[in-house]
Structure 1
Amino acid sequence: MALCLLGPLFFLSYIFTILSPLPLLYLHSGNPNARQGRLWLLVAAIIGTGVSVAIKGLGGGLAFLALSVIPSLVLGEVLKMRHGPVRAIGAAFLATIAATLIAAYTTAYVGGFELGPKLRTTVEAQVKMVTDRLLSQNPSEIPTDTAEDLKSLAKDPALIYAELPGIVATALLLLCTLPCLALIRWNPKGFLRRTGISRDYLRKWRSPEWMVWPALFCGVFLIFPMDPFSLVANNLLKPILLIYFFQGMSILAY
């Protein structure tokens, strides 16, 4: 039961939010008994949702389900079916996007407010808070170009919308990837053997060859701006860079 409390504790921590699916994924996939693992996940999900609702209301509970329970469940099930980490992360990524949208619209419907204006107000307030904090801390150490960009963003937080899809996609991809990588490195109770993942998987992993085409698309339209293709390329480049970052880390590990 104590392990089940790790889920909500990780989610409610602003430091470990990006690892919020990890405790639930461990409960689900770290157990050699598949049925028992699913049961532990269910118990943890109920406890975590209850705690999140009690502290943050309906929105907090739905966020816990969308950003912790759903990715851990999808990751665990796909990995147990021996489809490999790439498919597991891809499936969890898509499921998390869908769950996040459903959670957002459900919160808006129950709360009786329009989702668009509410999100806009929240995003702009957060952007202004972050930019003001960055500018107030050691402003002399911030590069001139970066400082100018931050000042423009603080003056008009709506500028973030052009970058927002790529930022959100990258964050959700990271949310689904890090717990999976942690479990592969940890290998609790023969996890690698049960999921058919080789011990040197991380060292030998390479991004799919077709990834070069989206990367080229981004490069072309960032060098030669042409709306709306440049806007798409700017957002698409962020998750692509994250994928190549993980490939670079695997090469260094090798």
Structure 2
Amino acid sequence: MTSSRFSLKGRRALVTGASSGIGRAVALGLAEHGAELILHHFGDEAGARELAEMMGGKAPVIEADFTRQGATEAFANDILDQFGPIDILIANAAIERRMPWNDIDEAHIAAHVASNFAALLTLTGKLVPPMAERGWGRVVATGSIMATRPRTETIVYASLKAAQLTAVRAIARDVAPRGVTVNVVSPGAIEIEANAAQYSDPAFRRAVTAKIPAGRQGQPQDLAGAFVFLCSDAASYITGANIPVDGGWSIGDAPGVLPQVAD
């Protein structure tokens, strides 16, 4: 029997980027603990509908492109108008477009800023005040190990994940007295649909897993427990935190892995 402190029964949760990968696993985890789900997607209605069916077919599915000007605010207003206040916001949707750092242009930067940073501020700005008014709320954003271990080909994505953590901590400090917690869960190397082809290459898989103390890449379901916990009453005294779920990678490469040294 699930402890009542971990129960999410009666809580309404919005998961952005819910149609696949980490968002899908988190949505299933929240539903398993009793939450009522609203599922956001962009360009993957089939995946979102399939997920909704797995939850009994009652979860609403809403599409929005957070890179488009004004779309996030319209989406948040639509959520409030249709469903009323949200208890839990899982800010998971993001884009990660890789390119050499010296080829980055303004359009590349603008798209990442809109989806990976501005959307968080807009969604929290709209959805968190009603949480605070009612004295209970949870926000959990999906971070990344790249915030502390960046790579040049993902320099914009990584930089904005670091900025996201700063924003989360600022908001958390402001709303903590009113029963709202705001946290980040930072995945490490996670195998999802978008990178499945890379992980099917044995050489790539070995290169990645050799660095991870746990000795394997993560799966989306490895993240769900941390999200569920942070959304529960059991985590009411945790806010402004960044919880790495990365098989120990953030504390250093696996034992026996030596850094490359120039000859």
Do both proteins adopt the same fold according to a TM-score greater than 0.5, normalized to the shorter chain?
no
TM superposition score normalised by structure 1: 0.32
More helix by share: 1
Rg larger for: 1
